[in-house]
Amino acid sequence: MYVLGIETSCDETGVAIYHSQQGLIQHVLYSQVDMHNEYGGVVPELASRDHIRKLIPLIDESLQAAKINKSEIGGIAYTAGPGLIGALLVGAAVATGLAWAWQIPAIAVHHMEGHLLAPMLEPNPPAFPFVALLISGGHTLLVEVNKIGDYEILGESLDDAAGEAFDKTAKLLGLGYPGGPRLSALAEQGEPRFKFPRPMTDRPGLDFSFSGLKTFTLNTYHASTKSQQDKADIAASFQQAVAETLAIKCKRALQQTGIKRLVVAGGVSANKQIRALLTLVAEKEKAEIYFPRPEFCTDNGAMIAYAGCQRLLLGESRSLAILAKARWPISQLKSVV
């Protein structure tokens, strides 16, 4: 069965075709970064309008590139939330409209479930159960994953998400948008010589708090000479603080659950230093570690097509409703079987 996947939760229009036996057939991503760059961040209304312009041409392009006729598509998976409501509505309305027209099921996919299952697109996917660290622009979650839809939250951010902390800190340092990749590129030219805190690591528990790091960055920056090298050193110190904090919490989560598999996904998991440090933690804990390839760490249609396909195969029932939820805790998902 071919499943069309549609992702429009934020500033990227993603379309993919996944086949239940053959795997990923095709995926395309259109990024709105250049458009939002001018404003220093994502402008929700512009994001929605651009999804409207790009989505149907990208679906056409994907079907043509894969040499698949629309009559061969067995289901359409779309991101139903969480995300920007206008942007979500574009994907949800197009997906549901096409599903009605083509007389096939539309499956509403949770964006973070998409991220969580992204490593399944790789040649050596993890088996269940596993501990997942999800680090994106809107979420920082540690989850015990027993099977698809069976998610127990072990810890989460009490304030800024990890990606949000990268983005806000980048803005403070004048690096612009998108902040995460820019801050991480600058960090590679610096030394982590400033002593940043590792928030909430001095007490038990698996929750996170990253908002204090941006204040710390600002104070450190003002007390520095503000040279390019100082900026790079501050970026490196910030990045190391986030990486070590995540590493400490992942180690605790592995020890607490006794699970020997760690999955790391979401936009921030593209970060090289975070990947390297978490790989070391897994080695020390004798656990296996799984990351999606960098293009499937950030938002994409492939992870949505995959998640929707699995839910369809598990017998998730067809819904005629157009579902879009700006807020949608992943703990509310139900396992299909």
- Among the listed residues 86, 91, 180, 308, the single contact to ligand KG4 using CB under 6 A: 180
| Cβ proximity to ligand KG4, 119 vs 137, nearer residue | 137
Q: Which stretch binds ligand KG4 (CB under 6 A): 24-32, 130-138, 224-232, 328-336?
A: 130-138
Taking the least distance from each CB to ligand KG4, the nearer of 88 and 259 is 88
b/e 109-148 (16+ beta carbons within 10 angstroms → b): bbbbbbbbbbbbbeeeebeebbbbbbbbbbbbbbbbbeeb
Partners of residue 107 on adjacent β-strands: 77
- Indicate which of Zn ion, ligand KG4, none lies near residue 47 (CB less than 5 to 8 Å, by partner kind): none
Residues 136-175 interacting with Zn ion (rule: CB under 5 A): 136
Binding of residue 299 to Zn ion (CB under 5 A): yes
Question: Binding of ligand KG4 at residue 163 (CB under 6 A)?
Answer: yes
Least distance from ligand KG4 to the Cβ atom of residue 71, Å: 33
Mapped onto helix, strand or coil, the DSSP state of residue 119 is helix
Does 298 participate in binding ligand KG4 (rule CB under 6 A)?
yes
- For residue 40, the cross-strand partners are none
| Nearer CB in complex with Zn ion: 233/299 | 299
Percentage helix, strand, coil, to 5, in the chain?
45, 20, 35
Out of 86, 91, 119, 266, the only residue in the binding site for ligand KG4 (CB under 6 A) is 266
Q: Does 270 bind ligand KG4 (CB under 6 A)?
A: yes
In 3-state terms, what secondary structure has residue 115?
helix
Q: Under the rule (CB under 5 A), what is the footprint of Zn ion?
A: 136, 299
